[in-house]
Structure 1
Amino acid sequence: MSELRKSTGVFVGTFVALSTILGAGMMVLPGTSYYQLGLSAWMPWAVAALSVVPLLYCYAWLGRRYPAASGVAHYAEVALGRSTGRTSGMLATFALVTGIPATAITGGRYLAEFSGAAALTWAFPVVVLAAATAVALLGANVSGRLQVTLLLALFALVVVTAVIAIGSHGPAVPSTRLPEFSALGTALTAVYVAFTGWETVAFTFEEHKSSDAIPRIFVTSYLVVVALYALLLLGIFAVVDSGDPALNSAPLLLLAERALGGVGRPMTLLLVIVTITANVCASVLALSRLVFGMARSGYLPAALSRVRTRDANPVTSVVVVGLVLTVIAVLGALGLVSFEALFVVSGGIYFVLYGVGAAAFAKLADGVRARVVTALCGVTVLLVTLLAGPPMWLCWALFAVVLLGTSLVDRRRRARVSATSG
């Protein structure tokens, strides 16, 4: 059975996690939440940041004990059976196949709008996906080092812009006024997307030198993500009026122009390029590992589980993943596939996979702490599902339908094997 080489250390692993989590949501969500709730916009961010902690605990615990390329699919199979594992892997693949092109297209739209070059709408997604595929072909270490460089640049851009904005205009005191429940629920559902991605990080765990470091990677990346979003919110609070409709499309541009003046626009374009490139590189790497793991488990064609001898890199799955993502990105950029549907489906399935991970943890972990974490996860999953409404319900229904289908297929396969052996 093919295995991936354990070559990723704690430092690079942390930056790979950050690259996976910080994506297109960073460019829009702080602005939309501020436009909806004014200076009370910090509330859904605080709720999302706190409520995701038990779910992250589950994934850190599972990753440390079951570091496999197929991530949640492996956890689900070990804890809940082959059919649930296969279903989870299929939906995870579908979520990434829709979410990665949507992220690349977001970058293309940003660049096209603020540079005036309409061709960037489709050209940027193609270029960034080709680059991410090429980097993944070079191996996890090369991809990881690139993501370290990109993320350090991203941190510098965000910190400098936000600090200048707050320092030059003075900090705006966040409001303690509780907004209407419906408005808070709508904002929370959107903001929660900013705290997804750790389940995708799990697909890279097989290549970590020490699985004992995985909880530390989760804690560090979580704290950095929270701090970065807090800085962005405080910077926007300081320099932008909450009634500005541009908050729904270009909050980072508003922040940069108010803070940095004439260099704000090129700074924003650079920030978009860095953020999207880092996220797409990390996600393509993760998806190629998931596809490799699924093929190794017999859920996808065996050819996708081949690895290059000299570095144990699953190059076949990398190439196939890159080609599929590029085709979908071009179709989405040209309007032949609904861009909004790509994001909705991807975000909903990510959350369903959080729930599956929590269920696997509940089955495998023992003790009082495990029961408390399981209860907190149950409350979080239930509340977010109810608040999100029909789009989220549809994703859970999709999971149920696929699970039913795979269960029937597995049952028939077992029946045939039993009849043959008999």
Structure 2
Amino acid sequence: MGGTVGTFVALSTILGSGMMILPGMSYHQLDRSAWVPWAVAAISVIPLLYCYSWLGRRYPSASGVAHYSEVALGGITGRTSGMLATFALTAGIPATAITGGRYVAEFSGIGSLEWVFPVVVLAGATGIALAGANVSGTLQVGLILGLFAMVACTAVIALKVHGIEPPSTDLPSVGSVGAVLTAVFVAFTGWETVAFTFEEHKRSDLIPRIFAASYVIVVVLYALLLLGLFAAVDSNDAGLNSAPLLILAERSLGELARPATLLLVIASITANVFASVLALSRLVFGLSRSGYLPAPLSKVRERDLNPVTSVIVVGSTLAVIVVLASSGLFRFEWLFVLSGGIYFVLYGVGAAAFARLARGNIARLVTLMCVVTVLLVTMLAGPSLWLSWVLFAVVWLGVAALGRRTSKTDDTRVYV
């Protein structure tokens, strides 16, 4: 992939279901002070993105954070990071697809689309991933361009029709900001997932530019959405917690609102699922190549070196999870909670790897900023994020214990 396609793949991974819910939810809770948690999240993520772009440029690997942490912190941390990254994506991708299915079912009035749509999207994502990264990236360019155009036009029309309502200068309480910040931060995750595709970039030196360009576009898009909501929608509207984009479109586009919102949802979900399935298949391939997963998953197709076995296994597994979640066997919201917390933990692990590998005054400053960010967000987030750190510790201890047991077994065999 070149720089342009790489940027759009990054945008596809970052922009997902969070964009459709979080701006409205934060506005409903904090009124026009909702910009505060968004600004905090946007600023605090900068040093973490610097870490990942630095690592990606110097260590482009399909294993992403698993490889970085193994190089910097040892095999146990690397294996733990890889396992949790796989788990986070395996939970997050079906949750995103199901969110799209619920939107489509509600808009069309056809209840079966709640599970048919996510299965079809996953099947399409698997097929595109089998075709190769270039095909997937080219398709995502078109989807994201259409998505950005629709969101930007909707927000701009809302501002033109209703006038600009400036953000409030009244700062909300720390407790209320913290509760919203936990959710809003999810909208700024995804770059750690992009790292799993770095091995397929033509030039690793372009990775920092890809991160910078995608970051600016994401911030602009979220800002337009918030300003559009401030201008066109009352913060007490209960629909802000369920379908804020539909409300914004209705106030801006009139009769075109429902079809426009439906297209936006389909484009957003499809692009995100396509990019995430590609990333997860590369992660599984990388972990298999490192010996952490069964060896057959590292097989590649000779003509283009595409890890087709891992793509098929990933697509099939995700489809099964979607069917189980859609059947009501468990609440699909749990998938979001699990994946969101683990994503943030992996940001912290990446920052720790950067701190160990990078040198110089800038590296020390970035490391300090990362420490402050991770500690602050963790404290504000509360039990849901604390449990993710506990999960990381438990898995780390389990991997360490398994490694010691395997080592003792190997020593005994040598002795015998």
Settle same-fold status: TM greater than 0.5. Answer: yes
Report how many residues are paired.
415
Q: Which amino acid aligns with 2:144?
A: L
Q: Taking structure 1 as the reference length, what is the TM-score of the superposition?
A: 0.97
The answer to whether the aligner puts 1:272 opposite 2:265 as a matched pair is yes
Name the CA distance, whole Å, in 2 between partners of 1:383 and 1:120: 41
The answer to whether the aligner puts 1:205 opposite 2:198 as a matched pair is yes
Q: Which amino acid aligns with 2:155?
A: A
The answer to whether the aligner puts 1:353 opposite 2:346 as a matched pair is yes
The answer to whether the aligner puts 1:73 opposite 2:66 as a matched pair is yes
Offset, 1:416: 3.3
Corresponding position of 2:50: 57
Corresponding position of 1:232: 225
Map 1:277-288 to 2 at 5 A. 277-288=270-281
CA offsets, 1:88-139, max 9 Å, x none? Answer: 0000000000000000000011111122111111011100000000000000
Name the CA distance, whole Å, in 1 between partners of 2:15 and 2:123: 20
Name the CA distance, whole Å, in 1 between partners of 2:192 and 2:279: 10
CA offsets, 1:336-376, max 9 Å, x none? Answer: 12211100000000000000000000100111111111111
Match of 1:325 among 313, 318, 325: 318
Name the CA distance, whole Å, in 2 between partners of 1:197 and 1:133: 19
Q: Unmatched 5+ residue regions in structure 1?
A: 1-7
SS at match of 1:298: coil
Name the CA distance, whole Å, in 1 between partners of 2:352 and 2:412: 33
Match of 2:307 among 314, 333, 340: 314
Corresponding position of 1:32: 25
The answer to whether the aligner puts 1:379 opposite 2:355 as a matched pair is no
Q: Percent identity?
A: 71
Map 1:40-55 to 2 at 5 A. 40-55=33-48
SS at match of 2:304: coil
Name the CA distance, whole Å, in 2 between partners of 1:177 and 1:24: 29
RMSD: 0.8
Name the CA distance, whole Å, in 1 between partners of 2:286 and 2:228: 42
The answer to whether the aligner puts 1:189 opposite 2:204 as a matched pair is no
Match of 1:115 among 98, 108, 115: 108
SS at match of 1:52: helix
Name the CA distance, whole Å, in 2 between partners of 1:334 and 1:236: 34
Q: Which amino acid aligns with 1:109?
A: R
Offset, 1:419: 4.2
Map 1:239-250 to 2 at 5 A. 239-250=232-243
Offset, 1:41: 0.5
Name the CA distance, whole Å, in 2 between partners of 1:411 and 1:375: 33
Name the CA distance, whole Å, in 1 between partners of 2:173 and 2:259: 37
Corresponding position of 2:247: 254
The answer to whether the aligner puts 1:137 opposite 2:130 as a matched pair is yes
CA offsets, 1:251-274, max 9 Å, x none? Answer: 000000100000001100000000
Offset, 1:421: 4.3
Match of 2:89 among 96, 116, 125: 96
Corresponding position of 1:397: 390
Match of 1:155 among 148, 153, 157: 148
SS at match of 2:364: helix
Offset, 1:409: 1.4
Q: Which amino acid aligns with 2:376?
A: L
Corresponding position of 2:363: 370
SS at match of 2:119: helix
Name the CA distance, whole Å, in 2 between partners of 1:342 and 1:61: 30
Name the CA distance, whole Å, in 2 between partners of 1:234 and 1:95: 32
CA offsets, 1:153-195, max 9 Å, x none? Answer: 0011011111100001101111010112211111111100000
Name the CA distance, whole Å, in 2 between partners of 1:404 and 1:121: 39
Name the CA distance, whole Å, in 2 between partners of 1:371 and 1:83: 25
Match of 1:342 among 335, 354, 370: 335
SS at match of 2:165: coil
